[in-house]
Structure 1
């Protein structure tokens, strides 16, 4: 039986700002062991028995970054598929799109395992056993959820109530889903013994899922089907990619798979499991991944502490000092610092809302921005000038482009650059440079086998990233 893990990578993780941002969301945050959450999810999915493909549903702007992260850890070389959303439309749309795509490519008997890209599972052996049980139930026509055995009365999760008198092989029939409870209610759930945290992971037979969706959420299936009909499917030797049409996708109902289907269907079962699961939903959860010192402090980076207890500091780029403080979260990035009391870790999202309301770019981008061809880092930004460090991957190329309002100086730091500058084609080695006037078409390429590193100095009346007119591009970004 074919098993296709479907990784949903759509959340921003605003409670983990300033590390998590819209262009660098929570799944791409590096953890203390050096891997990030989306890499861990991909590896965990790839290692399961019976897997023939890993399908990822993500924003179209994150495709190339996701490819890079997978490529850094992918040793099994499973077939890969991508469904690219122009914008988020909640989980029912993502799951329906994946199911329709898998029905077309693998048939209705294939099984899909829905996983969130930003969850952590520490016990991979127990996870694999839970998936095997879920696959068995899904083959019998059940819509299977994974219920996490609660270890304390958590008020930040939804719960699954299982029917005590309806045991199934390796699982239980679901009586109902319940919303995030208050503390007293959560304590009652834990005491009852038949309530589980709703992990947001699912396993279905593709045909069964679509039948149930057509019965309980026909508007979702119909709208997603119309979207796929007007969308562009591309294939290569590396992967299959379906880019969803924006106009059609805007008509899809914005609803979660829980509300659209799981709470309405009578065919829902749960696999109770203890797999070391965490949704890494706050900086408190992140801090638990680091061992505490004798004062209960947990530090990532260079930190000095005096008479301070139970703090978490994440500061990779510079020295941080604590004096006489307790129970603080200190998150330091090159362009933003967040300090919060541990009791208010969930409130970080309100700062992100303020940044959005003020149109402040620090909620969207880091100083280092990933592009299909590599990265750029803004080193300094002043009146009429901006300085960037640009890294171009081997054999990669920026678009053939032009700027109306700025000129650029390019200086090669290491590697070799092939440059189109107006009517000239140049080869630049280390310490060589060129000047590009505003209005001149230009292109930067790395013909070598190592990274090209260069410094770009921009000068002009307007230095915004939107002052780009593209004429040719290897990544489908040419303006109409």
Structure 2
């Protein structure tokens, strides 16, 4: 069905081929403890098997587009690459931001990348942390936006508001542009409740979704006119870019000098070519547990229950259990989220303030805001099962064909026990194959490496012992993933 619509527009001479630019930065602090700085919400699957990033890309199936360009933080590069690999997009470009500088610089990097070979494609800019219920309606709006972008307009998708939300910006509709959209009359900051209700009642306003369509060259032209310092900083940062596999790195210092500003402030509010295309597709900016509850739906008691949850005399609650049974009795209006190393209990009215907990964790020097107990690496993952004063026990999973770096440790020894699969172990001058129930001891200071030569995941138990067990006690001599 979607291909039929694309073919229909193509027959009218409309340029429907575009380059998706997926913005996958941000830390999603309001969705703690599920979302962490090193594993933020866009890489999580809250409902079903697809992560939010993967669902964003999958939403474009059936449209005529090129391979996506992903913009993400340096720290998330292997998460992003693995999730794209799972979708058959191993060759997709991943632009790495050494530091977050908001949407205008991120989109500028993507536009410069898209035009580097003399082409001027239409870019579709999407956020990796949005949810959309009606894919067909979403694609219909994109096709209307493509027509306007092909006429050198800077298109934003404006969501038809259902409620007087005060957490979103609004766009006032201007002069209509045929059946496709409207000129933008003005952008409005997040309003108070009274103004938000007036905007919804008028029918002349849309929520600002943060999704855009425009030619790369047109965006760069407008940026040079209104904010030339952003373009200059991004160009300078790209001049010394380094390509590592499918990762593209820019100069950290030069990119860090770029102003921290959104595309709305930098370009869309200043250009005379801004237009808005209406979107009514069940859009949701998944920015809080309350928003996620609305997205996932409620039962007859207005509860959203995910995982192993036993709820009695419980109403209007969001309860997510990831590892253990969570039982509730005689409660209402609460958010309860259980993970391996943290449990959140909050009143629903405070859902927007959960970031303050993350801030306190940072101030106290804790680590629960950084990562989960299970940590993902390009070769697989490890889960810290138990930790003591001079020991640590980990469950290690190595993907088929993957290899950890050739390394050594100054302060710890390691004992490895294979649970399932086959391990090729380099231990000093020796290389051995270990299978189920076999083990090996790695002394302090010994050069060693671990590889899975098999076709099934390798599962191991690692016992570390020594005076210091931090992850920074790793001296790498060789690494196929380019880590230092």
TM range (shorter): over 0.9
What is aligned with 1:90?
A: 102
- TM-aligned CA deviation for residue 415 of structure 1: 0.7
Task: Specify which of 29, 32, 44 is matched with residue 29 of structure 1.
Answer: 44
Q: How many pairs were matched up?
A: 469
Unaligned runs of 5+ in 1: none
The answer to whether 1:264 aligns with 2:270 is yes
Question: Partners in 2 of 1:120 and 1:354 — Cα distance?
Answer: 29
In terms of mean alpha carbon deviation, does 303-312 or 326-335 score higher? 303-312
* 1:144 counterpart SS class: strand
1:357-368 residue pairs with structure 2 within 5 A?
357-368=363-374
The answer to whether 1:342 aligns with 2:342 is no
The one-character-per-residue Cα deviations of 1:346-402 (angstroms, maximum 9, x if unpaired) are 011110111111221100010110100000000011111100000011111000111
* 1:151 counterpart SS class: coil
* 2:394 counterpart SS class: strand
1:391-430 residue pairs with structure 2 within 5 A?
391-430=397-436
CA contact (8 A) 1:406 1:463 kept: yes
Question: Partners in 1 of 2:352 and 2:413 — Cα distance?
Answer: 44
* 1:104 counterpart SS class: coil
The one-character-per-residue Cα deviations of 1:155-190 (angstroms, maximum 9, x if unpaired) are 000111121x44344110001111111100101111
The one-character-per-residue Cα deviations of 1:388-428 (angstroms, maximum 9, x if unpaired) are 00001111100011111111111111111111112221211
The one-character-per-residue Cα deviations of 1:82-106 (angstroms, maximum 9, x if unpaired) are 1011221111111000000000146
The answer to whether 1:225 aligns with 2:235 is yes
* 2:459 counterpart SS class: strand
Question: Partners in 2 of 1:291 and 1:260 — Cα distance?
Answer: 37
1:58-137 residue pairs with structure 2 within 5 A?
58-74=72-88, 80-105=92-117, 107-108=119-120, 110-137=121-148
The answer to whether 1:181 aligns with 2:195 is no
Task: Specify which of 191, 196, 205 is matched with residue 195 of structure 1.
Answer: 205
Question: Partners in 1 of 2:178 and 2:311 — Cα distance?
Answer: 54
Task: Specify which of 50, 59, 75 is matched with residue 44 of structure 1.
Answer: 59
- TM-aligned CA deviation for residue 138 of structure 1: 0.7
What is the TM-score normalised by the length of structure 2? 0.94
The runs of at least 4 aligned residues of structure 1 exceeding 6 Å deviation read: none
What is the TM-score normalised by the length of structure 1? 0.95
- TM-aligned CA deviation for residue 234 of structure 1: 4.3
1:239-278 residue pairs with structure 2 within 5 A?
240-278=246-284
Unaligned runs of 5+ in 2: 1-14
Decide whether aligned partners of structure 1 residues 307 and 179 sit closer, same or farther in structure 2, where only a CA change above 3 A counts. same
- TM-aligned CA deviation for residue 211 of structure 1: 0.5
* 1:270 counterpart SS class: strand
Task: Specify which of 453, 457, 479 is matched with residue 459 of structure 2.
Answer: 453
The answer to whether 1:325 aligns with 2:331 is yes
Question: CA-atom RMSD, angstroms?
Answer: 1.4
- TM-aligned CA deviation for residue 79 of structure 1: 5.4
Question: Partners in 1 of 2:250 and 2:179 — Cα distance?
Answer: 39
CA contact (8 A) 1:138 1:205 kept: yes
The one-character-per-residue Cα deviations of 1:14-35 (angstroms, maximum 9, x if unpaired) are 0000000011101122122232
Decide whether aligned partners of structure 1 residues 226 and 137 sit closer, same or farther in structure 2, where only a CA change above 3 A counts. same
In terms of mean alpha carbon deviation, does 93-102 or 413-422 score higher? 413-422
* 2:308 counterpart SS class: strand
What is aligned with 1:10?
A: 25
- TM-aligned CA deviation for residue 139 of structure 1: 1.0
* 1:208 counterpart SS class: helix
CA contact (8 A) 1:230 1:248 kept: no
Question: Partners in 2 of 1:203 and 1:251 — Cα distance?
Answer: 27
CA contact (8 A) 1:52 1:79 kept: no
The answer to whether 1:280 aligns with 2:316 is no
The one-character-per-residue Cα deviations of 1:43-75 (angstroms, maximum 9, x if unpaired) are 113x1522022110011222221222223344x
